[in-house]
Amino acid sequence: MIFALAPNVRAQTETTPAAEQQTPSNAQAAAPPAASPGPAAPQAAAQPTIGGALLPHDLSPLGMFVHADIVVKAVIVGLAFASLVTWTALVAKGLELQGARRRARRALRIVSGATTLSQAAQQLGKGSGAAGQLVQAAVAEMRLSENMPGEGVKERIALQLERLELRYSRKISLGTGVLATIGSTAPFVGLFGTVWGIMNSFIGISNAHTTNLAVVAPGIAEALLATALGLVAAIPAVVIYNVLVRSTAHYRALLGDVSAQVMKLVSRDIDRGGMRLGMAAE
């Protein structure tokens, strides 16, 4: 009997580990399935900083100006004001020169068609600008020099006309020197702003201990904005200055033609011996 029971005990002993091995799998089968992890929530991208300050994300001209250094801002504001002065000078001096040349051409036609100095003065009147003043000055000198030698009269009138030409030429040229100054200095002012901005960018790179392009690019872009505005202010100023200089030279030539015609009438009146007759018509 003892030998009969031994195989049964051995069979139970062999089956017990198998049952124990199946128990974890049954527990796993009975346990509810764990929830599958969903898509990972996007993490907020770390914003690059320079010296603890967030870098600007708006790289438009206005955004770069807002985030620029105070020195770069001052340079940009100064260049914008210079550009405004340039375009204002173009409008103001352009209208002034246009009116002055129109009056000078009208006076030249009248003086060229007149036979005596007094006739030219009567036709011009007192509203003919600088050319009318040349004629009026010659008439006044003829009146003061009545019964005097003719050569001395012509010399005095020529001298007075020359001084008047220079006077009105300087008057019409007022304001154009500012354009020359803007055209020559604006690029260097913009370059100063660029150098200052790039220097601050390098300081920021050193403080951030990184050479990441996101750290370098905004500061350099702000710096280069100053150079761009310097060119925007300088190029139109140079072009407008050259245009106004040519217009002023044309106006001076018209005044010179009027002076030559006035001297021709003066010489004609003196040779006729009609100084007194010409003044009587006044």
Question: What does the domain layout of the chain look like in residue ranges?
Answer: 59-281
d(CA 88, CA 199) in angstroms, rounded, equals 34
The DSSP string of 21-37 is HHHHHHHHHHSPPPPPP
d(CA 99, CA 237) in angstroms, rounded, equals 22
> Residues near 43 by Cβ (< 8 Å), separated by ≥ 6?
none
Nearest residue to 68 via CA among 232, 233, 237, 229: 229
Instruction: Report CA 71 to chain centroid distance, whole Å.
Output: 18
Burial of 131 (0-12, 13-18, 19+ CB in 10 A): buried
The DSSP string of 135-152 is HHHHHHHHHHTTTS-HHH
Four-residue CA torsion sign, 265, 270, 271, 277: positive
CA distances from 188 to 6, 9, 75, 81 (A): 109, 105, 11, 16
pLDDT at residue 71, as a whole number: 82
pLDDT digits (tens, 9 = 90+) for 111-126: 888 888 888 888 887 7
What pLDDT tens digit does each residue of the chain (282 aa) get? 334 434 444 444 444 444 344 444 443 433 444 444 444 444 444 444 444 444 445 666 676 667 667 888 888 889 999 999 999 999 999 999 999 999 889 888 988 888 888 888 888 877 668 888 888 888 888 888 777 666 778 888 888 898 988 899 888 988 888 999 999 999 999 999 888 888 877 777 777 676 666 666 777 777 788 888 999 999 999 999 999 999 999 999 999 999 999 988 888 888 776 544 344 444
Under 8 Å between Cβ of 111 and 254: no
Number of H helices, E strands in the chain: 9, 2
pLDDT at residue 221, as a whole number: 77
Question: Token pair of 178, please?
Answer: 């500012």
pTM of the full predicted structure?
A: 0.67
d(CA 105, CA 255) in angstroms, rounded, equals 9
